[in-house]
Amino acid sequence: MNKLRIGIIGLGTVGSGVYKTLEDIEMVEIVKIAVRNLNKPRSVEVPSSLLTDNPYDIVNSPEIDVVVELMGGVEPAWDYISTAIKNGKHIVTANKELLAKKGEELFNLAEEYNRVCLYEAAIAGGIPIIMPIKTILAGNKINKIQAILNGTTNYILTKMDACGASYEDVLKEAQALGYAETDPTGDVEGFDAAYKITTLATLAFKKRIKLENVYREGITKIRKEDMAYANEFGYKIKLIANATIDENDNADVRVHPMLVSQESMLAHIDYVTNAVAMSGYPIGNIVLSGPGAGEFPTASSVVGDILAIQAEYGTTDYVLPMMRCHHEKNANPVLIDNTFNKYYMSITAPNAIGVIAKIGTICASKNISLASILQRGVTDDNTADIIVITEKCQEKLIREVVNELDNCTVNSIIRVAE
């Protein structure tokens, strides 16, 4: 059997894991690896003859069958991948940002040149999710996804909850341990999870989701007090990638913190673990959980994609037809103001007669019912914390309530998962 000849662009954490894993697999040959710095010390010993600092040595090489892109970002990754496809090469990528921003263009190009692009590692690291949806779950109509897709934010929120610590303190610890980047914006502001849910929802719903229609909100405003109050009400706070679609193809896709019931499985997905919960017909509810990042978990998904191509390479003129993208229609985006949710609100208000009644009256004027209300402690400045959880209502009405709460400070508004 002829070996599948691959070129790898990027030899960071994931690239190193892929190299180590492929060393024991005989049917794959690594022809060339592109790196930024040929002299950089690495965690893996690679023969210098395999290394190049010019990715075009890979994407233009007639000796390479598959390009494995592990560098991330949109440019120059897109140029390398598109060039490789035009040169007749299949693609394996872990690049969630590229998929979210240029997925339609990427898959159309791959189909035009009869190449396949696999991306199992781009959504949930080591959790198998793309291949199961495309194969064993292909007969299902999936209409809801709730997922924890970012290990950094899940670690921070878990530590805040377990230790009663502030966001700022836990972030510093996460950075020291290597769980958070020096610039954590991509994770803590929800960009990473937004990229992932864009592609995952497109795949699961069989309708294209545009990144610009995905609402995004990070965890930087979550306070340790919110963690404590959530526990009192029987919840945990998680950064949730949420997507639903109705029978008219109206898709509500967003990323933001949510209160999830302590009785739910997602409430117990802690630290850097990821999970994807999906609902559909006829499967009902299903949860897949595991390591969402890291050297070997992510390498596991990358190598799985490589071997899927290897199994069919040279045996057919149309490799892996089930894994191709054939989404021709866009979903109808649901704007966040038009969504319906339950809400947790933390309000600092003057400790005066009628304040709670005023909050109730304003909510009632918007036809918003209150499920729970709690007052905690009077401070030296004669204010008190009032915690409200509403019944389901429209987002834009909650914003109107906030605007009418004179002489009150709304510390937090967090949606409540169902």
pLDDT computed for residue 2 by the predictor:
78
Domain 4-125+295-323 class, CATH top level: alpha beta
Catalytic status, residue 40: no
Domain boundaries defined on the chain: 4-125+295-323, 130-291, 336-416
The secondary structure of 351-366 as a DSSP string is S-TTHHHHHHHHHHHT
Tell me if residue 261 falls in helix, strand or coil. strand
In percent, how much of the chain has pLDDT > 90?
Answer: 89
* pLDDT 10s digits, 312-331: 998 999 999 989 887 779 99
Contacts of 305 (CB under 8 A, 6+ apart): 92, 118, 119, 120, 121
Region 158-187: mean pLDDT is 94
| Chain segment 368-402, per-residue pLDDT in tens | 999 999 988 777 788 889 999 999 999 999 999 99
pLDDT greater than 70 at residue 117: yes
DSSP secondary structure letter of residue 263: T
- Indicate the SS3 state at residue 75: coil
The pair of structure tokens assigned to 363 is 């909510």
Confidence of residue 1 (pLDDT cuts 50, 70, 90): low
Tell me the pLDDT tens digit for each residue of 189-200: 999 999 999 999
Q: Is CATH 3.30.360.10 the right assignment for the domain spanning 130-291? A: yes
pTM here is 0.95
Say what the pLDDT of residue 217 is: 98
Q: Which of 96-105, 337-346, 370-379, 402-411 has the lowest mean pLDDT?
A: 370-379
- In order, the DSSP letters of 82-108 are HHHHHTT-EEEE--HHHHHHHHHHHHH
Q: Please determine, for residue 354, whether its predicted confidence score (pLDDT) is greater than 90.
A: no
Closest C-alpha among 92, 105, 93, 134 to residue 324? 134
Mean pLDDT for all residues in the chain: 95
> Does the pLDDT value for residue 84 go beyond 70?
yes
Which tokens hold the place of 15?
């690239």
How far apart CA 285 and CA 266 sit, in angstroms, is 13
Q: Give Cβ neighbours of residue 381 (< 8 Å, ≥ 6 apart).
A: none
Report pLDDT for 12: 93
CATH number of 336-416: 3.30.70.260
Asked if pLDDT for residue 119 goes beyond 80, the answer is yes
pLDDT (tens digit per residue) in 270-310: 999 999 999 999 999 999 999 988 899 999 999 999 999 99
Sorted by sequence, the CB contacts under 8 Å of residue 204 that are 6+ apart come out as: 133, 142, 145, 243, 278, 280
Residue 224: the pLDDT is 96
Considering the candidates 102, 196, 236, 238, report the single residue annotated as catalytic.
196
